[in-house]
Every structure is written in C-alpha cells, then in structure tokens.
Amino acid sequence: MSSVAFEIVCSSCGSLVYAGYDLRYVRDVLKPNAGKCKGCGSKLSQSDFIVEIKKAAS
C-alpha cells in the first residue's frame, strides 16, 4: 500500500517491539531497554528478531 515498513516482533511473547520505516533505528529502539522486550523482558538480539518487511507492489 504505502512504503516499505519493518516490524520487529518479540520471538518470546509476540509483542511488537518496533514498527517503522528504517531498520537503522532498531538499535536505538532497543538501547533504552537494554535490549529487552518491553512486554516480557526477554533479551532480544538481532538474530532473534522476527522482522517482517512489507513492501508495496510497485
């Protein structure tokens, strides 16, 4: 529909950790939380992320 969006979902509890348009911000999103999920407190690492990339069909 619109532009490319990323969604990062906690692999433990399924909470949406980040949703936005720039994957570079992922580190900045996690930094204040010490890399932990806000929902369940699980430690997140980039390899644990479930990243859904939604692209608009152009």
What does the binding site for Zn ion look like in residue numbers (CB under 5 A)?
10, 12-13, 15, 37, 39-40, 42
Single-letter amino acid code for the residue at 29:
V
Nearest approach, Cβ of 13 to Zn ion (angstroms)?
Answer: 3
Nearest approach, Cβ of 31 to Zn ion (angstroms)?
Answer: 17
In a 3-state reduction of DSSP, which class is residue 29? helix
CB closer to Zn ion, 4 vs 16: 16
| CB-CB contact of 19 with 7 (8 Å) | yes
CB closer to Zn ion, 35 vs 39: 39
